[in-house]
Amino acid sequence: MHWRRFNGEPIKLPIKEEVRRAIERETAKGFRLKVCIGTDSQVRGHETEFATVIVFLREGHGGFMFIHNEKDHQHYSIRERMLVEVSKSITIAYELCDLFNEYDVDMEVHADINTNPHFKSNEALREAMGYILGMGFAFKAKPEAFASSCCANKIVN
């Protein structure tokens, strides 16, 4: 998996080691951190692009994020695509959760799924929420899911 910073600079270390270093650096500066992980996607013709972000929030002092993009040529229904987004976020959250526990960093998984039943993405809400909560992670959906609906969205659009 290839990760980068928002400025485009590639992350050369494995993502877990880079996250550890970021946590250690920011907490040494006295910042209380919260991490939000989210994925968004965009369909263009026969290609679906996914962007997954790890957003670090410094309590009262802004934040930064790490980004991973990938594309595939599989056709998804809206429900399937929403669940693939959630799966990508959970995979990263699961890989990193022991670090967050070790350093006492709060973490949430954000799903780009609308809580309003008038939106198509809503049909995946119950499954996504069950998947995320079942893994033991805090869950946010739109409009509170900024990591997926704002941060990751900017990367794929």
The band of 157, judged by pLDDT with boundaries at 50, 70 and 90, is low
Summarised one tens digit per residue, pLDDT across range 61-71 is: 999 999 999 99
pLDDT > 90 in the chain, percent: 78
Q: Quick check: 116 pLDDT over 90?
A: no
Taking the domains of the chain in order of start, what are their residue ranges?
Answer: 3-156
CB burial of 122-152 (b: ≥16 within 10 Å; e: otherwise) equals bebbeebbebbeeeebebbbbeebbbbbbbb
State what percent of residues in the chain have pLDDT above 70. Answer: 99
Tell me if 95 sits within 8 A of 52, measured CB to CB. Answer: no
> Residues 147-157: what's their mean pLDDT?
87
Q: Which helix (DSSP H) or strand (DSSP E) does residue 143 occupy? A: none
User: Which residues does residue 64 pair with via DSSP β-bridges, in sequence order?
Assistant: 56
Q: Which is more confidently placed, 2 or 122?
A: 2
The pLDDT-based confidence of 154 (bands split at 50, 70, 90) is confident
Count of all residues that appear for the chain in the document: 157
pTM beyond 0.85? yes
Q: What is the mean pLDDT of residues 4-25?
A: 97
